[in-house]
Amino acid sequence: MIASSIPNFTRALTALSGILDKGAASAQARKIDPLVLTSARLSPDMFALARQVQISCDVAKNGFSRLAGIDAPKFEDTETTFEELQARIAKTVAFLNAVPADSLKGSEDKVVTFPAGPERTLKMKGDAYLNQWMVPNLYFHIVTAYNILRHNGVDVGKMDYLKGADLLP
C-alpha cells in the first residue's frame, strides 16, 4: 500500500523539473542571471528556490528510505544552478524507482523516527508519517518553489504542477 504511493512522489518531482525548466527558459528569454531566480525567496526568513528543491528531494528520498529500512544516497546541498537542481531531482527519482516494493511491506505499522529541525527527533507510525508528514512536506516545498518563480514573473500554471496525472480519454 505504501509502495503504491511512490509514483505520486515521482510524478510531483517530475512536474517540479518541468517548472524549473520554465524558470531557466524565462531567465534566458528575459536576460536575467538564472542565479537570481534560484536564489530568490518569498520572505527574508524563508528558504530560497534552490533550497526548496533540495528539500523536496530529501522529503521523498529520506522518507522512503526510512520506511523501507534502506540506505539513501547522501546529497551535499551544493546545487545553485538550474542544471544542478535538475540533476538532483533526477537522482532522487532514480532512487525512488529503485526502492524494492518488498522493503515497504508492513511499513504502515512501523514506527519511524526522524529529525525535525536540528535539535528535535519525532516519531510517527508509517502510514501517518507518509500521509501527514511526507506528502504535505513534499507539496509544501514544491508549491513554494512554484510560487517563488511565479512571483518572479515566470509563466507557470497549475497544469505544470499537476502534470503527469493519469487522465482518462
Give the up-direction half-sphere exposure of residue 106: CA atoms within 13 A in the CB hemisphere: 4
Q: Which stretch binds its own copies (CB under 8 A): 28-36, 58-66, 75-83, 141-149?
A: 141-149
Residue with cell 529500512: 69
User: For the chain, how many residues are written?
Assistant: 169
Q: Which stretch binds its own copies (CB under 8 A): 64-72, 75-83, 90-98, 160-168?
A: 160-168
Residues 48-107 that bind its own copies (CB under 8 A): none
Q: What's the closest the beta carbon of residue 131 comes to its own copies, in angstroms?
A: 5
Whether the CB-CB separation of 82 and 34 falls below 8 Å is answered with yes
**Nearest alpha-carbon partner for 23 in 41, 10, 35:** 35
Q: What's the closest the beta carbon of residue 83 comes to its own copies, in angstroms?
A: 25
Assess 5 for contact with its own copies (CB under 8 A). yes
Q: Which stretch binds its own copies (CB under 8 A): 59-67, 79-87, 97-105, 124-132?
A: 124-132
Q: Which stretch binds its own copies (CB under 8 A): 18-26, 63-71, 81-89, 142-150?
A: 142-150
Instruction: Figure out which of the listed residues 3, 11, 32, 35 binds its own copies, where binding follows CB under 8 A.
Output: 11
Question: Quick one: 40 or 99, whose CB is closer to its own copies?
Answer: 40
Whether the CB-CB separation of 3 and 104 falls below 8 Å is answered with yes
Q: What would the DSSP string read from start to end of 88-147?
A: HHHHHHHHHHTS-GGGGTTGGGSEEEEESSSS-EEEEEHHHIIIIIIHHHHHHHHHHHHH
CA distances 66 to 35, 99, 125, Å, are: 33, 11, 11
Q: What's the closest the beta carbon of residue 107 comes to its own copies, in angstroms?
A: 15
Applying CB under 8 A, the residues found at the interface with its own copies are 5, 8, 11-12, 42-43, 46, 111, 122-125, 128, 131-133, 135-137, 139-140, 143-144, 146-147, 150-151, 153, 158, 161-162, 164-169
